[in-house]
A and B are shown apart, each in its own frame.
Chain A
Amino acid sequence: MTIAETIADLAEQLEQFSDWEDRYAHIIAMGKHLQQYPEEFRSDDFLVRGCQSRVWLHPSMDQGVVHFDADSEALIVKGLVAMLMKIYNHRTPDEILSVPSDFVSRLGLDAHLSQNRANGLSAMMKQLALYALAYKVSGASS
């Protein structure tokens, strides 16, 4: 799926829940399906700054595509991370850098996130883009 298709798909999934309980249950369930985070990368080096709960993000590059491992100690945050992974993971740096920044409101998430949580989410998005940019720059120079 393209990034646009993935965002539309996620939005559709979330829209089917009319009450907050089901929506959160869905987000938590997504987190539970997140690929297991490699323990060797569970260090402060891979912590995302600006999140209230600890979020780890580890990037790697393989054949022009960026792969992320990610995890959070908080269930709902982990679910949000899982959503981000669907959008950002296994994409080229250019694709990652083209993710529209308003997708959070397109998913209707902003209405349910306090400013602190929203800041955490944008900190994660910034970090994903920074890794992509770093790979793009190093790829262009090599």
Chain B
Amino acid sequence: MSSQRHYDPYAVRAQFPILSRTVHGGVPLVYLDSAATTQKPDAVITAIDQFYRRSNSNVHRAAHALSAEATSIWEGARARVARFLGAQRTEEVVFTRGTTESINLVAASWGSMNVHAGDEILITGMEHHANIVPWQLLCERTGAVLKAVPVLEDGSLDISAIDALLTDRTRLFAMVHASNTTGTINDVGALCAMAAAKGVRTLVDGAQAVLHQPVDVQAIGCDFYVFSAHKLYGPTGLGVLWGRYDLLDAMPPYQGGGAMIQHVSLERSVYEAPPLRFEAGTPHIAGAAGLGAAIDWFDTLDLDAMAQHEDRLTHRATSIIYQVEGARVIGEAPRKIGVVSFVIEGVHGTDLGMLLDEQGVATRTGHHCTMPLLERFHVGSTCRVSFAAYSTNEDLDVFERALTKAVRMLR
């Protein structure tokens, strides 16, 4: 990424109808909350609309034209995700409701077979609650122990601590690819290699990473990779669990119901092979139509140029924040996605969020579902701005003015 490549965020932005709306009776929207969910381009909205207008029916069942179409949309999206992640087989992609359900599925299904009393699960100190609580529940059920890799002052992971934390009792190392609170990008390839060298399975939470960079699960070398469609310009309610096929094949079902069985008698049932084994019930078919379109759309972007653009926004946001007296950015690791969390001495995050909102600037305030991480930095909540492919320097111009005004009103 040495050469500066041209990137036109305005051409991208023009494809997102919501970004031209106003709030509070006429204030132009400045959306700086893409880490919570990205907005949706026309291509995705159209795909979902078209599904319900033309193809709506159930998958894998009826013998009619629409059902065949719906099935091909559903399975087509699966193949698209498989290519997107560099999966070896399409059957390695399981659709879920989101990142949270993907992690819960692995914890419940893989965990019940592979984790026993005295075993250890390793996570990091920068995980989202979705990558903490399912493991705590598993530990409570099995008597296993949950451990965490500490986070350094700059928001990066204490790599030197990992070797000692990967013991002969460690069964799984679950790690976030990029932090939703500090933006830190973890070198998940290196972390997975350390785990693999000790025979430890790995799960990577890619919820925040997939929209900022290409992902290749083979290059990362993980065993499970999870993300949500809605953070990749797709619809809410659909998520992905990618797992190595042999691991998925050995796992028991997560939920029982229709579509996940080969045969049911009242005595016992024979389950489908992955991925259908893990997709009980009617799935979010329109969501898959949207996700397929989202990945197609995302593929049209120059991802290197986009990452450079987001980097510039991140740096500029950081300096805007530091112009405020008493401001402190939480997490300044060398490699970050477009996420900047900050606190301002003497200004409460709730107040700040409200006054930014009045000026049309959408941010997130609170603990960002990462309470252990915020405790490590001795703060209860932060204000967070986050960027995506459509964020512009103009957004930051408005943010700068709005921040200055809000702080002035609150001091």
Contact = CB atoms under 8 A, between A and B. Distances in A.
Given A20-B24, A25-B409, A52-B365, A75 B348 contact: yes
B410 A114 contact: no
Interface in A64-78: 73-77
Interface stretch (B118-126, B158-166, B327-335, B354-362): B354-362
B351 A75 contact: yes
Most buried by A among B24, B349, B351: B351
B348 A73 contact: yes
Contacts of B348: 53, 73-75, 77
Contacts, number: 40
Interface in B310-368: 348-351, 354-355, 357-358, 365-366
Nearest to A19: B358
A28 B409 contact: yes
Interface string B373-411: 000000000000000000000000000000001000110
B358 A76 contact: no
Contact of A20 (B350, B351, B358, B366): B358
Nearest to B365: A52
Main secondary structure of the interface of A (DSSP, over half): helix
A111 B27 CA distance: 14
Nearest to A77: B350
A74 B355 CA distance: 12
A103 interface: no
A126 interface: no
A25 B354 CA distance: 13
Contacts of B351: 53, 74-77
Contacts of A52: 350, 365-366
B264 to A, nearest CB: 43
A24 B350 contact: no
Interface residues of B, number: 14
Interface string A93-118: 00000000000000000011010010
A8 to B, nearest CB: 24
A111 B357 CA distance: 12
Q: Which of A24, A25, A28, A75 has the most CB of B within 10 A?
A: A75
Contacts of A25: 409
A76 B357 contact: no
Given A52-B350, A75-B351, A117-B354, A24 B409 contact: yes
A21 B350 contact: no
Contacts of B358: 20, 24, 112
A28 B408 CA distance: 12
Interface in A51-97: 52-53, 73-77
A112 B410 CA distance: 17
A67 B386 CA distance: 44
A76 B24 contact: no
A25 B349 CA distance: 17
A110 B299 CA distance: 42
Contacts of A76: 350-351, 354-355
A75 B410 contact: yes
Nearest to A73: B348
Sort A-B residue pairs by CB-CB distance and give the 3 closest, nearest first: A74-B348, A53-B350, A74-B350
Interface of A: 20-21, 24-25, 28, 52-53, 73-77, 111-112, 114, 117
26 contacts: A20-B358, A21-B409, A24-B354, A25-B409, A28-B409, A28-B410, A52-B350, A52-B366, A53-B349, A53-B351, A74-B348, A74-B349, A74-B350, A74-B351, A75-B351, A75-B410, A76-B350, A76-B351, A77-B350, A77-B351, A112-B24, A112-B358, A114-B354, A114-B357, A117-B350, A117-B354
Given A28-B410, A114-B354, A114-B357, 16 more contacts: A21-B405, A21-B409, A24-B354, A24-B358, A25-B409, A28-B409, A52-B350, A53-B348, A74-B351, A75-B410, A76-B351, A77-B351, A112-B24, A112-B358, A117-B350, A117-B354
